[in-house]
Chain A
Amino acid sequence: MKALLTRDLMLAIRAGGGFGLGLSFFLIVTVLVPFGVGPQTELLSRIAPGVLWIGALLACLLSLDRIFALDWEDGSLDLLATAPLPMEGIVSVKALAHWITTGLPLVLAAPVLGVLLSLPIPAYQWVVISLAVGTPALSVIGTFGAALTVGIKRGGLLMSLLVLPLYVPTLIFGAEVARRGAEGLTVQAPLLLLAGISFGVIALLPFASAAVLRINLR
């Protein structure tokens, strides 16, 4: 399993698209917001936590179909299925690889982009923490969506339609942590709920994703 992770990470780096894709999209979305909403800083700073979260979420969504598509096309998914690795393990490693190549960079880039949106000072740490806790869930849920639509040609749009409603709880609690952090309120409740969802999803969803992948490989 570790080999699968290192291979996926190497592929992401070598193919170049891996890291850059999510980050550049996140940057573009964050830059577009002031154009759309107007440059008044007090307005921007109020919506900054939400915008950062939505940007990160969409960046995750964009790079989901690459998770299985490459292995599906060149047949290595079939070969992996005959390997001694449990399918749940393969799916979790794929989600982890997606998180490292896409989720993590978003967490690191968020404060930098926060400056663009004049994010209030106390909010910086909470945006980073909420994203750090929330993005793993986005990757695992996304992997489930990617597995569902791996066999469907041009399944990207369908995957977004399936995955976005599943993102709602994570988005609500994540953005809530960031927003409360910005206003200096206690963030304990939404943070715990966010963590609860993330851990629950990480623990349970791979079984569903594995089942779906087995069906698609049939």
Chain B
Amino acid sequence: MVLSVRDLAVTRGGLAILEGVSFDLSPGEALVLRGPNGVGKTTLLRSVAGLQPPETGTVTGAEDQIAYAAHSDGLKAMLSVTENLKFWASVFGLSDIEPALVAFDLTDLRNRMAGTLSAGQKRRLGLARLMVTGRPIWILDEPTVSLDVTSVALFADAVRMHLKGGGSALMATHIDLGLTEARVLDLTPFKAAPRTRQMDEAFL
């Protein structure tokens, strides 16, 4: 399933920050969105994931295909690793969490409470959550923040495995991801010219 984004404009707090963004993401491909902090990477990802309606432009091929992982990876500290994964698996209608545990080397942390994990382990659990959803398109917001070098390598391997399996990944980051073969799209040229907020047009 090809995810294609045509002439997307997104707003934050009503202010237009990105416009005219277009790209395609075909299976087996990874795309990294680069750009300085605040350029609108997160907002763009949220619009593509359908959490936030874009101001203009279309996102096609995203229906029920997307697994979204934000900064805060939505893990419950009071639940164990398996319970967290089992929950997200059943929410997406699946139940097999073993491959994810293996892929992210979490097998020995199986029964540890998510709250007691280190930042790197938590991030790996967050990514394992993505795998468990069985959704082909991964949307990752700053996936390698607070990860040490080995974890970044582990992350890169997991993404490559996902790509080999026919999945695709859309990532936003301003630090190295360890994914040399990924295509890079710099968002700075798409910065929206300052113009009135859509909701304010009627008043100006």
Contacts and interface: CB of A to CB of B under 8 A. Distances in A.
A85 interface: yes
B68 interface: yes
Contact of B68 (A6, A79, A85): A79
A141 B10 CA distance: 34
A83 B75 CA distance: 15
Contacts of B68: 78-79, 82
Binding site of A, secondary structure by majority: helix, strand, loop or mixed?
helix
A75 interface: yes
Contact of A74 (B53, B67, B76): B76
A85 B91 contact: yes
B51 interface: yes
B42 to A, nearest CB: 11
Contacts of B188: none
Interface residues of B, number: 29
Interface string A1-42: 011101100110011000000000000000000000000000
A76 interface: yes
Contacts of B72: 73-75
B79 interface: yes
Given A11-B79, A74-B75, A218 B52 contact: yes
Interface of B: 46, 49-53, 64, 66-76, 78-79, 83, 86-88, 90-93, 133
Given A6-B87, A7-B87, 7 more contacts: A3-B87, A7-B83, A10-B78, A75-B73, A82-B68, A218-B51, A218-B52
21 contacts: A2-B90, A3-B86, A7-B76, A7-B87, A10-B79, A10-B83, A74-B72, A75-B71, A75-B72, A75-B74, A76-B75, A78-B70, A78-B74, A79-B68, A79-B70, A80-B91, A82-B49, A82-B66, A83-B91, A84-B93, A218-B51
Interface of A: 2-4, 6-7, 10-11, 14-15, 71, 73-76, 78-85, 217-218
